[in-house]
Amino acid sequence: MEAGVWIRGGRVLDPVSGRDDVADVAVAGSSVLAIAQVAPQESNPQAMAPGFAPHRVIDASGCWVLPGLVDLAVRLREPGCEHARMLESEMSAAMAGGITSLVCQPDTDPVLDEPGLVEMLRFRAEKLRQARVYPMGALTCGLRGEMITEMVELSEAGCVAFGQADVALMDTQVLLRAMQYASTFGYAVWLRPQDPWLGKGVAASGPRAMRMGLSGVPVVAETIALHTIFALMQATGARVHLCRISSAEGVELVRAAKARGLPVSCDVAVHSLHLCDEDLGDFDSRARMEPVLRQRRDRDALRAALADGTIDALVSNHTPVGEDAKTLPFAEAEPGATALELLLSLAYQWHLEDGVSPLRCVQAVTSTPSEVLGSALGTRQGRTGRLQVGGLADVCVFDPRHEWVLGTEALCSQGKHTPFVGRMLHGRVRATIVGARVAYEAD
């Protein structure tokens, strides 16, 4: 007999196959064993899969049953914060958010630029038996932008891509060499498009930043960087993933680059999808973000581009920030906000507000981010971010009927700062299953 989890009577959403119907799902070992439409009175685990003997049964009536989420932008604060048990808390937050695979950023302290650090992070994460952690290696040593890292060794240690997180690379000669090197070995380069000199402000350039006396980041900080990246892509043949696009003009450049056939993909942070510079309020440091929150027209363009697929993936850009670093004057506060536990609820809100189909909503946080990772997933390529027989037994059960007001006491993350505190959210993760094991279940 093969033990596992039997998820009964939920609305199964799989963007890869286009499946959207009420069905039972059987998972065991590392795989989805069966998905079957059956009448409740006829439901029988043995009929679904011979030898299947579930040790857990989840009644998913009224819930969405979808692949475990894949988040391309997460900060776990390790290495560097082992003493605070940050890895444990942030992985618990991922589970509460239905996120079963995540890419962690290299801007840790110390920076993820040595194989030993990558191996230790993976070892510690695997011991927790929660989300699958895919480290991103630093593109340059110490993220200083001077010398490229030993990408081959970092890849062998488990890095799935190479990037600079939010640290802009000033020397285009170094960027050129890094992209040439990455292209030679087939590695993806992940870049946040921002000019290092024009991107030094703390809010989006515009009337609001001017009235508040805040230094601004103009849109050209993004578009100049995009032009540079695209030119270097053509010169090197490198494959690039653009991280956290933020402007309407940036979206148009990405759309044109894709139309020209450049091997480029991109993502957007969930905060940029819902907020704009009007949400800075009275110098609310919780809305201090990287990238900065731009104007309403940018936010609307980002939402439309995510809906039509110009933007491939929606990410949490989860950044846990401590109390001391956030409760400062706006310009001095550390940018970033907690978001692992909010990602799916906010994606669902986008679906409700813009009339985006449930499958596209789910796709943006499951299968398209998985496709961005591509062959870096190794044996999990083609099995992650989808809910099909033979796929990974990573499943999220989401209750769209659940309405809740976000309070900081409900967050598992040690980062308690988010502009959504006190807001009504729609939909909440009810259970997260990793490798056919129930790793999280709401009370």
Domain membership of residue 246 (yes or no) is yes
Give yes or no for residue 426 having a pLDDT over 60: yes
- pLDDT (tens digit, 9 = 90+) per residue, 75-134? 999 999 888 899 999 999 999 999 999 999 999 999 999 999 999 999 999 999 999 999
Give the DSSP H/E element, type plus range, for residue 172. helix 172-185
Query: Which residue, among 224, 204, 225, 226, has the nearest Cα to 216 in the 3D structure?
Result: 204
Q: What is the pLDDT of residues 345-397, one digit of tens each?
A: 999 999 999 999 999 999 999 999 999 999 999 999 999 999 999 999 999 99
Q: How far apart are CA 16 and CA 390, in angstroms?
A: 13
Could you tell me which residues come within 8 angstroms of residue 261 by beta carbon, excluding any fewer than 6 positions away? none
**Residue 251's pLDDT is what?**
98
In a domain, 290, yes or no: yes
Q: Is 385 inside any structural domain? A: no
For the chain, what percent of residues have pLDDT higher than 90?
93
Establish if 136 belongs to a structural domain.
yes
Q: Specify the number of domains making up the chain.
A: 2
pLDDT band at 256; cut points 50, 70, 90: very high
Query: What DSSP letter does each residue of 307-332 carry, written as one string?
Result: HHTSS-EEE--B----HHHHSS-GGG
Give the per-residue pLDDT at 243: 98
Q: Which domain holds residue 355?
A: 68-380
How many Å apart are CA 199 and CA 223, to the nearest integer?
11
pLDDT of 2 reads: 56
Q: What's the CATH code of the domain at 430?
A: 2.30.40.10
Contact 415, 337 (CB under 8 A): yes
Amino acid at position 40, single letter: P
Q: Cis omega before residue 110 (within 30°)?
A: yes
Task: Look at the block and give the residue holding tokens 């989840």.
Answer: 58
In a domain, 210, yes or no: yes
Please indicate, yes or no, whether residues 207 and 100 belong to a single structural domain of this protein: yes
Same domain assignment for residues 310 and 181: yes
pLDDT tens string 265-289: 999 999 999 999 999 999 999 999 9
Q: Are residues 144 and 285 in the same domain?
A: yes
Q: Do 256 and 155 belong together in one domain?
A: yes
Provide the CA 52 distance to its chain's centre, in angstroms.
Answer: 33
Distances (CA, A) of 405 to 68, 174, 342, 417, 426: 24, 47, 11, 15, 9
311 and 188 within one domain? yes
Helix, strand, coil % in the chain, rounded to nearest 5: 35, 25, 35
Shared domain for 344 and 436, answered yes or no, is no
Answer yes or no: do 365 and 404 share one domain.
no
pLDDT of residue 42: 64
- Residue 125: give its domain's CATH number: 3.20.20.140
Q: Do both 317 and 351 map to the same domain?
A: yes
pLDDT attached to residue 39? 66
40 pLDDT tier (thresholds 50, 70, 90) = low
For residue 101, being part of any structural domain is answered with: yes
Q: Render pLDDT for 189-220 as a digit per residue (tens, 0 to 9).
A: 999 999 999 999 999 999 999 999 999 999 99
Please indicate, yes or no, whether residues 57 and 130 belong to a single structural domain of this protein: no
Residue 273 lies in a domain: yes
Same domain, residue pair 192 and 264 = yes
Is 36 part of a structural domain of the chain? yes
This prediction's pTM: 0.97
Residues 357, 399 share a domain: no
One domain, residues 282 and 409: no
Sheet holding 264-269, edge to edge: 69-74, 99-104, 132-138, 161-163, 188-191, 239-242, 264-269, 313-315
What is the model's pLDDT at position 437? 95
Residue 41: band (very low, low, confident or very high) from pLDDT cuts 50, 70, 90: low
Q: Confirm if 233 and 242 have CB atoms less than 8 A apart.
A: no
